[in-house]
């Protein structure tokens, strides 16, 4: 836009233009002074209009430049957001796979352990059903088969039992033995007292 040329500078009297008008006739403006005041105001408006026009002409390219930069920033931000979301999703998927792998490994290990314990228990159950039970013998202080431990415990309570040698020394006949009418339990526990 072309600049407007200034009008010739008028000679304006010292009183200000558009100031309150005095009622004193010597302070009143003449028609020429009034037109000169309008011309002065017109020249100041022309100066401002020219400055605004120059500013707009200089700035007109900057608006498009700023808009282009804002669009580039918007695209960059959207790309950044997509990258961050993708990285988060990738990391989440990786963590999920690692956790699933750890759980699967722990499950395999737990299954192996329970299978081993179950096999051991099954073996012990089979040993019990066959009769191969072993336990601590309080009479000897060693681990022995169950029947031996029971016999040893029972034997410690048989203080009046007869040994085979002592029974042979009695030389009892079957008839004499029957006359005593001794039960098997009494014979086993108190044979020495009853028969001797």
Q: Domain map of the chain by residue range?
A: 134-195
Phi-psi region of 81 (alpha: psi -120 to 50; beta: other; left: phi over 0): alpha
> What's the pLDDT at 1?
55
pLDDT tens digits, the chain, 196 residues: what are they?
A: 567 776 666 555 555 555 555 556 666 667 787 788 888 888 889 999 999 888 888 777 777 888 889 999 999 999 999 999 999 999 999 999 999 999 999 999 999 999 999 999 888 887 776 667 788 888 888 988 888 888 888 878 778 877 778 878 888 787 887 788 888 877 777 777 777 6
pLDDT for 74 equals 95
CA distance readout (Å), 21 to 34, 41, 147: 12, 17, 140
* pTM confidence score: 0.36
Q: What is the pLDDT of residue 166?
A: 81
Of 31, 30, 35, which is closest to residue 7 (Cα–Cα)?
35
d(CA 97, CA 48) in angstroms, rounded, equals 71
171 three-state secondary structure:
coil
pLDDT at 102: 95
Q: What is residue 27's predicted lDDT score, i.e. its pLDDT?
A: 62
């Amino acid at each position: 836009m072309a600049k407007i040329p200034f009008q010739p500078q008028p000679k304006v009297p010292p009183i200000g233009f558009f100031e309150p008008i005095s009622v004193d006739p010597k302070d009143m403006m003449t028609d020429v002074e009034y037109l000169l005041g309008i011309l002065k105001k017109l020249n100041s408006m022309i100066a401002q209009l020219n400055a605004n026009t120059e500013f707009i002409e200089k700035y007109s390219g900057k608006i498009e430049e700023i808009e282009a930069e804002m669009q580039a920033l918007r695209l960059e931000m959207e790309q950044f957001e997509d990258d961050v979301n993708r990285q988060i999703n990738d990391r989440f998927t990786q963590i999920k796979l690692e956790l699933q792998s750890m759980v699967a490994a722990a499950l395999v290990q737990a299954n192996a352990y329970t299978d081993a314990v179950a096999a051991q228990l099954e073996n012990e159950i089979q040993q019990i059903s066959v009769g191969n039970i072993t336990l601590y013998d309080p009479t000897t202080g060693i681990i022995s088969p169950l029947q031996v431990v029971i016999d040893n415990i029972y034997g410690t309570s048989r203080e009046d039992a007869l040994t085979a040698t002592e029974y042979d020394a009695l030389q009892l006949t079957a008839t004499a033995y029957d006359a005593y009418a001794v039960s098997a339990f009494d014979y086993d526990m108190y044979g020495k007292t009853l028969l001797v």
